[in-house]
Structure 1
Amino acid sequence: MTALLLALWPLFALIVAGYLLHRADFPGAAFWPGAERLNYFVLFPALLASSLARAPLDNPALPRLALAVLLALGLGWLVLLALRRLRGWPAARFGALVQGSLRFNTYLGLAAVGSLYGAPGLTLAALMLALMVPTVNLLSVWALSAERGASPAALLRPILRNPLILGCLAGVALNLSGIGLPGGSERLLGLLAAASLPLGLLCVGAALRPQELRGEGAALLGNALARLLLMPLLALGVARLLGLPALESSLLVLFFALPTAPTAYTLTRQLGGDAHLMAGIITLQTLLAALSLPLLLAWAL
């Protein structure tokens, strides 16, 4: 438990620092949207591309991880569909709840993996992200667009434009082509990647909106319970069912125990979802994860 706390507390300290800096209006209101865009469109894709360009794509863990990830996400999705039918949620609300249950904070996840498991963990985590990012984005877009009868092209367009997915595809292409990262490009991408995670965590803190926690108490708490407790327990059950090795099990549980992604708010607004509910979900889950993540990992692993 002590090792977990030592590895995780600096990550949450950066989130708190981002929130305090934003509240103090430093370095200015215009800084944070620009920093988030820089990270989302340049720095973080560079991290994913560099990790996947060097990853052993013939790793025997890949089929196991793919099955585990898709099984856990599929089971969670089926439960959400059943609840929607039972509760009669409109697409605007359903989309926010789906993102709160299935999406994950990639910045926090990779920073935690790097702190806990080092380079071997980051390699497997990049492989997992190549599977999880497109899947959860597709489910999120479908959930927000379900009542409008969106065409397959309309559903796929935001997926194919997602810079994280493009970063994954670029890394895989460089890897499979044998080009790799020649001529100092590995160093260049490494420098960009090194800036990504601390800046991303600061931006997570700056995006917190405690004022959005009012008025949706039951929905916020229920969704936080689903994301921070039920989903990691589901992932743990899947890992044990498939007999995953220790490191793969740890990574699967970790990614399903993360709070939802701050970028879910942007997607919700773009597609006409319940932005107030989404902002509250992001804020509450991020705050609670500071307690739930180390406790759950210490207990489960």
Structure 2
Amino acid sequence: MTTLLYSLWPLFALILGGLALRRWNFPGEAFWPAAERLNYFILFPALLFSSLASAPLDNPALPRLALAVLLALGGAWLALLLVRRLRGWPAARFGAFSQGILRFNTYLGLAVVGSLHGQPGLALAALLLALMVPAVNVLSVWSLTAEQGVSVRSLLWPIMKNPLILACLAGVLVNLAGVGLPGGSDRLLGLLAAASLPLGLLCVGAALRPQELHGETAALAWNCGLRLLAMPLLAYAVAHLLQLPSLESSVLVLFFALPTAPTAYVLTRQLGGDGHLMAAIITLQTLMAAASLLAVLFVLGS
């Protein structure tokens, strides 16, 4: 337990630090959107690209993780569709609830995996992201546009222009080409990647909106419970069913135990979803994850 606390508290300290800095208006309101864009389009893709460019793609974990993601995400999605039919949610609310349950905070996930499992864990996490990021993007767009009719272009376009997905694809192509990262490029990418996670966690904190945590108490409570407790239980059941090795199980369960992604708010606003509900879900899940992640990792024995 002490080891877990030592691993997690600096990460959540950075998140709370970002929240405090934003409230104190330091270094200025214009800084945070610019920092988030820098991280999203350059620093974080550098981390994913470098991880996949050097990852062993013949890793037998890849097909196992792909099947695990299919079973876990597929099961959660089918359950969401059933509940939507029973409750009659409009797309604006269904999109917010779905993203609250299916999406995950990538910055926090990689920071926790790196802190607990080092480079082997990060290599597995990069493979997992290459599988999960496209899937959750498609399901998120689908859930928010369920009443408008969904075209193939509307589903695929957000994926084709997503810098994280493009970085994963480029890393895989470089890996398959066997050219490696020559001439010190590995060092350059390493420096960019090292800046990504702390800046990302500060931006996560700066994006929180505690003022949105009023009303919708029941909806926030069940959505938070499903994401932070039921989803990791589902992932653990899938890992047990597939008899995944301990490291793969740990990384899989961890990513299903993460709070939802702050970028879900932007997508929700762009596609006409319930922005107030989405902001409240993101804020509550991120704050509650400090305790829930500790509990999940303790049960896993990480």
TM-score (norm 1): 0.99
| Structure 1 partner of 2:213 | 213
| Structure 2 partner of 1:62 | 62
| Structure 2 partner of 1:123 | 123
Structure 2 Cα separation of the partners of residues 82 and 175 of structure 1: 41
| Structure 1 partner of 2:173 | 173
Structure 1 Cα separation of the partners of residues 166 and 98 of structure 2: 23
Per the TM alignment, residue 154 of structure 1 is displaced from its structure 2 partner at its CA by 1.4
Structure 2 Cα separation of the partners of residues 70 and 28 of structure 1: 42
Structure 1 stretches of 5 or more lacking a match? none
Per the TM alignment, residue 221 of structure 1 is displaced from its structure 2 partner at its CA by 0.7
Per the TM alignment, residue 150 of structure 1 is displaced from its structure 2 partner at its CA by 2.3
Per the TM alignment, residue 156 of structure 1 is displaced from its structure 2 partner at its CA by 0.7
| Structure 2 partner of 1:272 | 272
**1:148 partner SS:** coil
| Structure 2 partner of 1:106 | 106
Structure 2 stretches of 5 or more lacking a match? none
**Cα deviation 1:17-41 (Å, max 9, x = unaligned):** 0000001100000000000011011
**Cα deviation 1:19-76 (Å, max 9, x = unaligned):** 0000110000000000001101111011000000000000011111111111100000
Give the letter aligned to residue 54 of structure 1.
S
**Cα deviation 1:178-237 (Å, max 9, x = unaligned):** 122111111111111000000000000001101111111111111000100000000000
| Structure 2 partner of 1:225 | 225
**1:183 partner SS:** coil
Structure 2 Cα separation of the partners of residues 255 and 92 of structure 1: 25
Are 1:11 and 2:11 matched, yes or no? yes
**Cα deviation 1:70-110 (Å, max 9, x = unaligned):** 11000000110001001001111111111000100000000
Structure 2 Cα separation of the partners of residues 246 and 200 of structure 1: 28
**1:62 partner SS:** helix
- State the superposition RMSD in angstroms: 0.7
Structure 1 Cα separation of the partners of residues 217 and 129 of structure 2: 31
Structure 2 Cα separation of the partners of residues 292 and 71 of structure 1: 23
TM-score (norm 2): 0.99
Give the letter aligned to residue 31 of structure 1.
F
Alignment length, in residue pairs? 301
